[in-house]
Amino acid sequence: MIKTESFVKALKGHTFLQDFHDDHIETLARLASDVSFDADEIIFRLGEVSSYFYLIASGTVALDVEDSGVTIEIARLRRGEELGWSSLLKQTSKQFEARAVTDVHAFAFEGARLRKACEDDPAFGYALMKRLFEVVTGRLAAVRTHMGDNERTSAKWLCEP
């Protein structure tokens, strides 16, 4: 119970969860585990099926995509942001490569367990999915910005399943 209580306290301060009800944060706390990544460590690769969703507690993560041998940084994620939204979808491959720029501490959630929690509590599921749509929209805007900045970037990878 101490683990869950400490996670509740930490998650209540996380920007991604700022509008979440206390019972929804408690649900997440029961599913959370602590993870750390060293600077320059690859968290996941483009196209890889990874089942973890992360809430970043500290550090910086770069989201990169490679096109024609050129690596393009799409975004830098920091404390209060999320990583790995596609883990909530069954068997969906990652749309970016995630690389720790600095040492990173995060809360990790196994995608299948999160999906089950969403099915068990539709209000929780709706709150989480609504928030994730905001993230996906922001990432799409970042991709569009970088595509306009780099003539060599094509949209073919964006359309991959």
pLDDT in tens, 83-100: 988 888 877 778 789 999
Please indicate, yes or no, if residue 137 is contained in any of the structural domains. Answer: yes
Residue 157 has pLDDT above 50, yes or no: no
Q: How many CA atoms lie within 13 A of 97 on its CB side?
A: 15
- Tally of domains within the chain: 1
Query: In the structure encoding, which two tokens stand for residue 22, read together?
Result: 């206390």
pLDDT band, very low/low/confident/very high, at 60 (cuts 50, 70, 90): very high
The pTM for the full model equals 0.82
- Buried b / exposed e over 25-46, threshold 16 CB at 10 Å, is bbbbbebbeeeebeeeeebbeb
pLDDT in tens, 12-55: 989 999 889 999 999 999 999 999 999 999 999 888 887 899 99
Instruction: Give the list of residues 6+ apart from residue 100 with CB closer than 8 angstroms, or none.
Output: 37, 38, 39, 40, 41, 42, 43, 59, 60, 61
Range of the domain at 104: 34-151
Q: What is the CATH number of the domain that holds 61?
A: 2.60.120.10
Residue 11 lies in a domain: no
Residue 37 or residue 160, greater confidence: 37
Tens of pLDDT, residue by residue over 105-148, are 999 999 999 999 999 999 999 999 999 888 778 767 766 675 65
